Structure 1
Amino acid sequence: MNLYADIKTLVLDSLNALAAEGALPQGLDLSNVAVEPPRDPAHGDMATNAAMVLARPAGLKPRDIAAMLAPRLQADARVLSAEVAGPGFLNLRLSPQVWRDAVAAALAAGTDFGRSDMGRGQRVNVEYVSANPTGPLHVGHTRGAVFGDALASLLDFAGYDVTREYYINDGGAQVDVLARSAYERYREAHGLEPEIAEGLYPGDYLIPVGAALKEKYGDALLDKPESEWLPEVREFATAMMMDLIREDLAALGVRMDVFFSEKSLYGSGRIEEALDALEKKGLIYVGVLEPPKGKTPEDWEPRPQTLFRATAFGDDVDRPLKKSDGSWTYFAPDIAYHYDKVRRGFDQLIDVFGADHGGYVKRLKAAVAALSDEKVPLDVKLCQLVKLYKNGQPFKMSKRAGSFVTLRDVVDEVGPDVARFMMLTRKNDAPLDFDFAKALEQSRDNPVFYVQYAHARARSALRAAAEAGIDVAAVPQADLAPLAHPAELALAARIADWPRQVEAAARSHEPHRVAFFLQELAAELHGLWNKGKDEPALRFVQPDDPAGTLARLALLSAAAVVIAAGLGILGVTPMDEMR
């Protein structure tokens, strides 16, 4: 049940009827007609912009169109009134029964309430985290992991066929640095002093890798030249780092469907195949780039390069594909990787990157557009930095990594539920301040506590009702007619808004909207609960009014259903009790 979609259908049908009667021109584009909550709740329950967007193409005044549309809408039993406002907006007030029906629908559907077929089974690949396999995930990866995982769950809830994917960056020079760093820890395991030179990874997390290398190879690698031990140590250390990364992701509640190795692209012909596909389209050429804007580096020199014509698809400059030594640039395997995604038949691609990848977005979008003949859209979401605080002060933690706070540090400090919800309290492209004290505080200022407490309150009311002798098993079939107070109907209206919120969040690829909505729903629930302290008639459990109690418990249970569904999308556990 998507009430807003239902009322929008009523508006569109009414407009088509007006066109059929000749009151409006035939063939008007209705795609921009919307039905949404008004900015000011005092103006009504819903508002439509139909008259405003159709006035110019119809050659009529907006208020004239609104005046024709209003009586048709008001003729529907769900609409109590349709009032023309301002230059031509149409404000609607709905029957209380509409909100009661939404409560009944939520109870009937359970946590599937709000599920949508909007995606129509389209295949979407969401790539996220994709950290270099050179150490544990840090706090920045935590935000990207939570965002990507919640987005994947949201799209699944909205009817898409979603694949969660991690791209292992194991093909570049950084894994050689990892191998050299691990080798020093291998030497350390043999009682030798490790030589952690500048540029190597100093973190203690590599000590177990060195011990494992000793267990596997004994002292056989100690006297070998680097050229002999490097390939074996690189493969061994990379595998151990990926095991560590999988464990860290599991601690956060993140599980991938696919781990794709960059290394698998090298020597397989797949990079050449992807570039050949671009060359056949006339998009690969040898040319000389203009010098970089601003201060030109001293070592810059104009020279012929193999280039991808990225400017044909909106990029600022064409992009090199080969280095001066003939090896591939980092962009070439990324093109091949995305070509593989396109050929796997995905209808949409979403990449979740850190803030430092902002300059990479245009070239990647250009490559996917070229490879798919502009049929497969790529949306790149950048996650901004996370700053850690405790009681408002910058917070330092023990660092296994040697230079940064790890994902596991954060999860161990506050738990996965708190970590996940707090990472979604800001839009992904806005910086996020994470205060450990605030995240664990049991107050309305802590959003995750506030939402989980709302769910727990609903459950506690059911327990209290059962203890008072009320048959709570009858709640799903309760007569909802007693729900008549404005505060009760306001909570019901918030519940009814959930399906619209799901589709809006999925359409914009913004899972933080779910977190925001849950906070609003929790505020509505807590507000009604607190009103009961001053107005006994609003108390949820009233043993001398079993019919009213069942109706109010149904309302509370419907709110809990939506909270559980929303928290499920975010990967957070709904709490039945708060201790």
Structure 2
Amino acid sequence: MNLFADMRGVVLDALNGMADAGELPVGLNLHNVTVEPPRDPAHGDMATNAAMVLAKPAGAKPRDIAERLAARLSDDPRITSAEVAGPGFLNLRLDPSAWHGVIRAALAEPEGYGRSEIGQGTRVNVEFVSANPTGPMHVGHTRGAVFGDALSSLLAFAGFDVTREYYINDGGAQVDVLARSAYERYREANGLEPAIAEGLYPGDYLIPVGEALKAKYGDSLVDQPEEEWLDEVRDFATDAMLEMIREDLDLLNVRMDVYSSEKALYGSGRIEAAIERLRSAGLIYEGTLEPPKGKLPDDWEAREQTLFRSTAYGDDQDRAVQKSDGAWTYFAPDIAYHWDKIDRGFDQLIDIFGADHGGYVKRMNAAVGALSNGRVPLDVKLIQLVKLFKNGEPFKMSKRAGTFVTLRDVVEQAGRDVTRFHMLTRKNDAPLDFDFDKVLEQSKDNPVWYVQYASARVHSVLKRAAEMGIDVSDAALSKADLSHLAHPAELALAGKVAEYPRLVEAAAAAHEPHRVAFYLYDLAGDLHSLWNRGNDDTSLRFVQEHDPQATSAKIALVRAVGVVISSGLAILGVTPAKEMR
């Protein structure tokens, strides 16, 4: 049940009735007509912009449309009043039975409340993390992993067919550096002094890899020339790093559906085929790029290269896909990889990149637009940096990683649920401070604690009511006499529950899972507020010792809040608390 969508349907029916009666022109576009919560709750329960958006195309004054619309809406039994405000906004007040219906809907189908079909089975590929397989994941990867996983869950909840995908960047020079670094640890395992030269990976995480290489090869690779061992050690170390990455992701309860390899593209003909597809569309040519803006590098030399005419699809400049020596640029396999995703039949692509990849956005959008003839949209989400603090100081790197704070460091310090929730307390493109002391403190200023405390309170109230002999099953509570819920504060809390389906659709459409975290914080605040009001007004207490019927009604409301908290936390990948410790 989506009460806001239902009431929008009522508004649209009334507008169509006005058109049939000659009060509005026939055939008006009603797409932009909305029904949503008013900015100021004092103005009503819902507000519609219908008169404002239709006035110009209808050639009428907004207030005239609003007044005629108000008269028609007043006939609906769920609407107690329709009041014209300002230049033509229409504020609606609903009968308590409308909010009671929301509670019953949440209890009738707890697992389904808030689910949407707006996705209509659209196939969406969400590619995220995609860290180089050269070491453990760091805190930046942590935020990207949480965001990507939560976005995937949100889209699935909204009716999309979602595939989570990891693109293994195993085709570049960094995996050769990994092999050389692992080889030094292999030499160390054989009793030799490792030569961790500048440019190699210094972290202790490669020590077990070196030991595993010794277990497999003994000392047979010691003192052998690089060309004898490089390929073998590179594959061995890359596999070990991928296993470490999978273990790191498992700490966050993130599981990919597909792992795609960049290395597999080379020699397969797929890069050549993707470039040829662009060439056949007249988008590949031989040319020379303009020199970079600002101070020229000392080694700058204008060279003819194979270029993609990405400016034809909105990029700032054309991009090289093949160097003058015939080698592919980094961009070429990325083009082939995205063509592969299009070829697999995805209707939408979402890439989640670190903030340092901002310059890649326009060129990837251009490539996908060209490869799909504009059919498949690509949304690139950039993940801003995370700053870690503990005891008021920046949190230091781990010796294991050598140069950065790892995902494992963060999860071991804060816990999975706290880590996941807090990573979603800011929009993805806003910087995030992660203070280990603050994310664990028990206060309203800590969003994850505040929401989990609300969840624990729901369970506590249900337990207490059950001890009174009240049937707290969803089936029983859905049949409670909800006329006992008449106080404005109780109806306001039910109204917040009613916003959840609308919130899910809006967050999914915008690809913004942080909206769910924000909403849960507000919902928790409303529950805590009603709880505290019961300290002064005993009629608002959830458990009425001598009135089982009133208790059942109030417990139904509390349980509906619990349904939504559990559902929203599931989208975020967080386990709802049953008690606080």
TM-score (norm 2): 0.99
Q: Encode CA deviations 1:387-421: one digit per residue, 9 max, x unaligned.
A: 01124432225341101000000001111100000
- Separation in 2, partners of 1:408, 1:549: 45
Number of equivalent positions: 579
3-state SS, counterpart of residue 195 of structure 2? coil
Q: CA RMSD in A?
A: 0.9
Equivalent position of 1:187 in the other structure: 187
- Separation in 1, partners of 2:176, 2:398: 27
Alpha-carbon distance, 1:510 to partner: 0.1
Equivalent position of 1:491 in the other structure: 493
Q: How does 1:263-282 map to 2 (within 5 A)?
A: 263-282=263-282
Q: How does 1:229-378 map to 2 (within 5 A)?
A: 229-378=229-378
Q: Encode CA deviations 1:71-111: one digit per residue, 9 max, x unaligned.
A: 11111111111111111111111111111100010011103
Q: Which moved more, 1:308-317 or 1:457-466?
A: 457-466
Equivalent position of 2:544 in the other structure: 542
- Separation in 2, partners of 1:3, 1:466: 30
- Separation in 1, partners of 2:392, 2:4: 41
Equivalent position of 1:105 in the other structure: 105
- Separation in 2, partners of 1:325, 1:184: 32
3-state SS, counterpart of residue 275 of structure 2? helix
Equivalent position of 1:159 in the other structure: 159
3-state SS, counterpart of residue 183 of structure 1? helix
Alpha-carbon distance, 1:22 to partner: 1.4
Equivalent position of 1:532 in the other structure: 534
3-state SS, counterpart of residue 352 of structure 1? strand
3-state SS, counterpart of residue 328 of structure 2? coil
Alpha-carbon distance, 1:468 to partner: 2.3
Alpha-carbon distance, 1:538 to partner: 0.8
Q: Encode CA deviations 1:216-248: one digit per residue, 9 max, x unaligned.
A: 110111132101100000000000000000000
Alpha-carbon distance, 1:493 to partner: 0.3
3-state SS, counterpart of residue 484 of structure 2? coil
- Separation in 1, partners of 2:530, 2:174: 56
Alignment partner of 2:525 out of 523, 532, 552: 523
- Separation in 1, partners of 2:298, 2:398: 41
Amino acid at match of 1:143: R
3-state SS, counterpart of residue 482 of structure 2? coil
- Separation in 1, partners of 2:339, 2:309: 16
CA contact (8 A) 1:456 1:577 kept: yes
Alpha-carbon distance, 1:466 to partner: 1.8
CA contact (8 A) 2:285 2:309 kept: yes
Equivalent position of 1:214 in the other structure: 214
Amino acid at match of 2:324: S
CA contact (8 A) 1:179 1:234 kept: yes
- Separation in 2, partners of 1:111, 1:434: 32
Q: Give ranges in structure 2 of 5+ residues lacking alignment.
A: none
- Separation in 1, partners of 2:338, 2:136: 25
TM-score (norm 1): 0.99
Equivalent position of 2:442 in the other structure: 442
Question: Post-superposition, which runs of at least 4 consecutive aligned residues in structure 1 deviate over 3 A?
Answer: none
Q: Encode CA deviations 1:250-306: one digit per residue, 9 max, x unaligned.
A: 011100000000001000000001111111111101111222222222322222110
CA contact (8 A) 2:494 2:557 kept: yes
Alpha-carbon distance, 1:20 to partner: 1.6
Q: Give ranges in structure 1 of 5+ residues lacking alignment.
A: none
Alignment partner of 1:567 out of 566, 569, 574: 569
CA contact (8 A) 2:103 2:478 kept: no
- Separation in 1, partners of 2:395, 2:225: 43
CA contact (8 A) 1:399 1:406 kept: no
Alpha-carbon distance, 1:325 to partner: 2.5
Amino acid at match of 2:340: D
Amino acid at match of 2:509: R
- Separation in 2, partners of 1:122, 1:470: 44
CA contact (8 A) 2:304 2:324 kept: no
- Separation in 2, partners of 1:60, 1:399: 71
